[in-house]
Amino acid sequence: MTRADRRVPACSIGAITCTVVLMATFAFLATPSGQSFNERVFGRYYTVGMILAFGVYGLGGLATLVTGAVLAVQAWRRREEPAWLRHIAVFTGVVLPIVAFLLYSYL
């Protein structure tokens, strides 16, 4: 890996984007428009629709979370520049989900 490759913050930006996409998706689903969308897509299947919705949102959220964590670790290992972007990527991709999980599971 050359020095020029290390300077491109692609993994850092990707990790931050994964966290933003995850938060925006679930924030949208909490609105009346999101609930209407959820009802149109999964509501017609009744109980199976609820199971499908949990599966789709669960797997999508987990995939986005894991992708963000992998990109954050990759950014840290590549020592991407600027360093503050790498630190934010690790915070949003690794630390923030762990803290959120611990707060959710203990409160």
Q: Rounded CA gap, 34 and 48, in Å? A: 19
Single-letter code of the amino acid located at 91: F
Contact assessment for residue 87 and residue 79, using Cβ atoms and an 8 Å cutoff:
no
Average pLDDT, the chain: 91
Q: Rounded CA gap, 12 and 6, in Å? A: 11
**Tokens 């590549």 belong to residue:** 78
**Tokens 């987990």 belong to residue:** 62
What pTM was estimated for this model as a whole? 0.84
Within 8 A by CB and 6+ apart from 105, the residues are none
- Cis check for the bond before 97: say yes or no (omega within 30 of 0): no
- The string of pLDDT tens digits covering residues 1-19 is 566 655 689 999 999 999 9
In this prediction, residues 60-76 reach a mean pLDDT of 95
Percent of the chain whose pLDDT exceeds 90: 78
Band (pLDDT 50/70/90 cuts) for residue 104 is: confident
